Amino acid sequence: MTQPLKSRFTLNDLRSARSLGRKIPMLTCYDYTTARLMHAAAVPSLLVGDSAANVILGHDTTLPISLDFLIELTAAVRRGAPLALLVGDMPFGSYQGDPGLGCENVFKMVKQTGCDCVKLEVTPDHAPLVKRLADAGVAVMAHLGLRPQSVNVLGGYRFQGRSVGEAQHIIQAAQRMTDAGASALLLEAVPNEVSAAVVARTNLPVIGCGAGPACDGHVVVLHDIAGLTPHQPRFAPPIGDLTSAWQKVLQKYVQDIDSGQYPLPQHGYEMPLDQAKILAGLQQ
């Protein structure tokens, strides 16, 4: 049985894993209770993703989620998993405009959550921002490939790196992020050939999200692999069925109420007899 994390998992551990060829698991997490379970299961790295907009808030895209809400979630996950490498996601609109405001928002995320790293969905033009943050001491995970915050520009959720030209664009962007001082890369929904080329061209740890086995680690949305979402991407097939488990618990509760099996005397609290007599007398 897997033992809980015993020591802090850091970016140095992620870098060491890359050099040793050890693949690192990462999962999305959005709350304290789940973070505690992940800590007990020795999940070394957690991402509080803007995918919370979908699986927590019910939006069709990640665009509506706010920075303040993600900060609250990230701080909760930090409390539940104090030893994990924690990545806080920067939401749409929090860094894409004025670089100064972008830095302020990133600093706010780091200071108020205790996260170890921030994730930015980037284009090559974000290199100056990444450098500015790195120079300030912020570890940045640069997100390339399919970038859900750019869904309107991309024309939908389609995998990237389909052509040589697209692949070269991703590889070049990865090199620019490396040169700008990024601490890690995340590649989403790209062919393994593209991931392998990125891994070969950079010394940074590369986390894949539907990006093939060449990556140094892999991240998926917890709700997908737990069977909690109606549709899962091909790279996150369910490995459990928490939907059925939850439904059984909820149905049993409703049935117990309907049948009178809950609450029973053992589920309640007894007033001291002398106080009960006084209260009964007051009601007469």
Is the separation of the CB atoms in 177 and 130 below 8 Å?
yes
The C-alpha R_g of the chain, in whole angstroms, comes to 23
Burial of 63 (0-12, 13-18, 19+ CB in 10 A): middle
Tell me which of 104, 121, 188, 193 is the catalytic residue.
188
The C-alpha atoms of residue 32 and residue 217 are separated, in whole angstroms, by 23
**270 carries an active-site annotation:** no
Instruction: Cite the DSSP H helix spans in the chain.
Output: 11-20, 32-40, 52-55, 67-80, 99-113, 127-135, 151-154, 164-180, 192-201, 222-225, 242-259, 273-282
Residue 179 has which token pair? 């040169």
Task: Give CA 59 to chain center in angstroms.
Answer: 16
With a CB cutoff of 8 Å and minimum separation 6, the contacts of 235 are: 189, 209, 210, 211, 220
**Cα–Cα separations (whole angstroms), residue 66 to 58, 141, 185, 209, 228:** 14, 19, 23, 23, 23
The C-alpha atoms of residue 185 and residue 178 are separated, in whole angstroms, by 8
With a CB cutoff of 8 Å and minimum separation 6, the contacts of 167 are: 161, 190, 191, 193, 194, 197
Q: Which residues are catalytic?
A: 188
